[in-house]
Structures are given as C-alpha cells and as structure tokens.
Chains A and B, each alone.
Chain A
Amino acid sequence: MATDTSVADVPGTAPLAHEEVHLSDIHYVRVAVFLAVLTGIEVALSYINGLNGLALLVPLLVIMAIKFGTVALYFMHLKWDSKILTRLFYAGVLLAAGVYVIALSTFRLFAGN
C-alpha cells in the first residue's frame, strides 16, 4: 500500500496557493492601474452625449467582462489555482447569466418596442 504518498504526488491535484509563485507586489499594482483605467473609460463613455442604447451598452458590457475576468484571474488567483475552482465559479456565473437572461426574455425585456 502506498503509505508514504504525498498529496502533491496524486495526479490532478493542484499545488497549494501559498506554495505557488504569484505576481510580485508591483505586478498587482499594475493590474490595479489597468482596472482603474478601464473604470475611467467606462465612466467617460457614460458621459458622452448621444451615446445611448446598444452603442453604449455593448462597450460597457465588454469592459465590465474584462474587469470581472481580470479580478478573478489575478486577484482571486484563478490563473494559478486548480481548474476545478475555475469551473466551479464560472459554472455559477454562467448558470446565473443563463437563467436570468431566459427569465428576462419571458418578460419580453429584449423584444424592444
């Protein structure tokens, strides 16, 4: 029997977070600056007169998705952590998005006037 097997030897197991080499502090600061710039662009877009409807919504949603993904990947360490965690989290995100888009569709929210 394998009595002296460490967890790290088991195929499919992820290295522990505190054993991994993440970004250095200055890299985290750069990620934060990137997020701040994206937020600035979002706010600037909302102030542009005449930018309404899909012309505003689409770029806002794209920037929102980039910010969401950046925080999840770099700050929540999904980029380095076990893929199981990524699947768990995005399963929740996609399930929520799918369920509520369908629910809102039943109220003809996307049908237009």
Chain B
Amino acid sequence: MTDVDAPRSAPAPGAATGHGQQEAYPEELHATNTGISNEKLAMWVFLGSECLLFGGLISTYVLYKNRHRVGPAPHQLYDIAFTSISSFVLLMSSLTMVLAVAAVTRGDQKRLRTWLLTTALLGSVFISGQVYEFTAFVREGMGFTTNAASSAFYTLTGFHGVHVTIGIIMLLSVFVLSLRGRLPTERAETVEIVGLYWHFVDVVWIVIFTIVYLAK
C-alpha cells in the first residue's frame, strides 16, 4: 500500500469523487477509475473517432477514383517512387517520436529535444513532398474541381496533410516546453500523448499509401 496523503474523508480511487479529489493524489497516480489519465483516455477516444473520419474520406476516394470524364485521374499522375520516399520519411518520423518518448521517460532532456526536432523536421519534409506533388498535379491539369476523382483525392490527402501540420505544431510546442524546463519526467505523459497523435497520423498514411497509391 502506498500512503498518498489522502484526506481521511476521501473515498478510495474508483469510488465516486467530488471536487478537489484530484489533489488527494500525486500527479503520477491518476485518480480515475481506470488508472489512465483523462488526457490520455481522451486522446485515444479522439483517435478512435478519427478512424471514422478517415474511413469516410478513403471510402469516398475508392468510390470516385474512376470518375474522371474531364482531365486526368490521380492514378494516372502518381509518381510511386517519390511517394514511397515520402512514406518512408513519415515512417521514420514515428521511430524518432518513440525515441523522444523513451528519452523523456529516462529524463534525458537533451535527447528529447533532439528527437522532437528531428520528428518535426521529418514531418516538414513529408509536407513539402505533398506540396510538391500537389503542384505537379495541378500543372498536369488536375485541379481540385477537375473531376470527382481529383476532388476526392485532394480532400483525403489534404486532410491528412493538415493533420501532419497540426502534429508538427504540437511537436514544436512540446519542444518549447522542454526548453523552458516544464517537461520533467513526471510530465512524460504530455510527450506520450503528442506521440500518440503523431503515430496515428503515420498509421493513417500507411492505409492511404496502400489503398490510394499502390492498389491498382
């Protein structure tokens, strides 16, 4: 048993709690029924709901990919070699992200900052690749409203790109927190939660890369 300095009137964890109950526990012992912090649980619920968003966008693309009476279709313009390198970059950013989480868990602030910046950099390379790809497609005559297939393609990959961009902003925010000394080992979960979002962006791209780019 661990003495957590709870007030004598405080109910045990798992029992109904009232206001001020959070203060009865040290920060690392989450006073929730599940033992999981509300922030982490909320991120997982959010990621579960995001599956439905991207599922809808992928399904829409699959449904419309052959509807291109006017202009070229996306699959006629794909540069698989280029997109494969972009995919590899995003995949490796998941590695650097998990290394950042491992570093903050060990209390290694220097490596945490190095891996966070590397992850943000790799994410930026991926986004640059996407901007280049979109520009090349527009030059080839495939704009957003050219046909149903192009609309579905840009909406799907554009939404994913926005998610990656938000992830980069989150990574840089965590980097600044670390610089200011506000990410001690006890707050490692903050980095872990940002990491969950980043890995999710990666797994979504794993699906998009296979279904949209590789499956003929």
Contact = CB atoms under 8 A, between A and B. Distances in A.
Contacts, number: 192
B193 to A, nearest CB: 10
Contact of B7 (A3, A14, A18, A64): A3
A36 B36 contact: no
B210 A72 contact: no
A77 B97 CA distance: 12
Interface in B70-117: 80, 84, 87-88, 91-92, 94-95, 97-99, 102, 104-105
Nearest to A32: B95
A45 B59 contact: no
Contacts of A71: 94, 199, 202-203, 206
A41 to B, nearest CB: 11
- Main secondary structure on A side of the interface with B: helix
Interface residues of A, number: 65
A85 B41 CA distance: 7
A28 B210 contact: no
Contact of A4 (B3, B35, B192): B3
Contact of B92 (A12, A32, A100): A32
Interface string A89-105: 10111011101100110
A46 B213 CA distance: 9
Given A5-B1, A7-B25, A32-B92, A91 B13 contact: no
A42 B214 contact: yes
Contact of A3 (B12, B59, B213): B12
Interface string B1-45: 111101111111110000000000100111111111000110011
Interface stretch (B46-54, B125-133, B136-144, B174-182): B46-54
Nearest to B55: A96
B162 interface: no
Contact of A7 (B10, B35, B209): B35
Given A22-B102, A89-B47, 12 more contacts: A3-B6, A3-B12, A5-B4, A7-B25, A14-B36, A18-B104, A18-B189, A42-B210, A67-B203, A76-B196, A93-B51, A95-B51
Interface of B: 1-4, 6-14, 25, 28-36, 40-41, 44-45, 47-52, 54-56, 58-59, 62-63, 80, 84, 87-88, 91-92, 94-95, 97-99, 102, 104-105, 185, 188-189, 192, 195-196, 199-200, 202-203, 206-207, 209-211, 213-216
Interface of A: 1-10, 12-19, 22, 24-25, 28-29, 31-32, 35-36, 39, 42-43, 45-47, 52, 56-57, 60-61, 63-64, 67-68, 71-72, 74-77, 82, 84-85, 88-89, 91-93, 95-97, 99-100, 103-104, 107, 109
